[in-house]
Amino acid sequence: MTLYVSELIKPEELFPILNEYELGLEVTKFSMGDVIDNSEINCKEFKKQLKNYEFTNKISFHGPYCDLVPASFDSKIKKATSERFNSVYDIAKKFNSEHIVFHTGFIPKMHYPDYWLEKSITFWKEFIKNKENIEILIENVLEDDFMPIFELVEEINHPNFSVCLDIGHANACSSKGIENWIKGLNKKIKHVHLHNNDGIHDNHFGLQTGNINILNTLECLNTFCPNASWTLEVFNKVDIIESIKVLKDNRFL
């Protein structure tokens, strides 16, 4: 199993951990519009950073998400979303990224699921054209139910289009239970975001803190989507190290 750590702490704290444990990096800096707008400068700085820390492990990217809605009613919002997503795809290629994670953009009680699905299928079928080198992963955020994402991936039916299951989002936003998500999406899950929370807020705690039964969840992931890669999405250095220890001590890493 490949484990990545999300770029949510300072580089001087993060890269020594990645190198010590031989872990991958999930890049988040290019999820922000102002960073993409200055991509040439920021790409040079990022390349320098990787060189300075002698980082040679795997890289994944998290795509832009703020204010972006693939299934938007508004053609200009949809166009802006496409431009941002394509920009980060081009940047990710430069760094030989394994994946790019994109949010669904679904907003409960505002988007009708059937309409969201119809518009999302149109958006992603167009986006995935001629994109063969990087896996596109669709991440749950506010959804209560896994079925719209399941149906989206089923309809797109592309080998490089699959699911990133965020267990923290499912715990905080869904009434269905994480095990229900894992069993329902099954092998459509190719990547997982790991963090814990209180079941109400998107806290991004370490694996050992929160009300997710993390060992049962990890066992369930191993059973139903054993080939998925994982990313720790944790905001604190100490909690990242403790989470890695949880994974190692229980033979998930």
Average pLDDT over residues 224-246: 97
CA 136 to chain centre: 10
Q: pLDDT tens digit string along 127-174?
A: 999 888 899 999 999 999 999 999 999 999 999 999 999 999 999 999
pLDDT number for residue 138: 98
Residues 3-249, CATH architecture: Alpha-Beta Barrel (3.20)
At 1, the pLDDT band (50, 70, 90 cuts) reads confident
Contacts of 143 (CB under 8 A, 6+ apart): 104, 106, 108, 149, 169, 173, 174
Q: Confirm if 145 and 170 have CB atoms less than 8 A apart.
A: no
Average pLDDT over residues 113-133: 93
Tokens of 184: 């329902």
CA contacts within 13 A on the Cβ side of 5? 30
pLDDT number for residue 48: 98
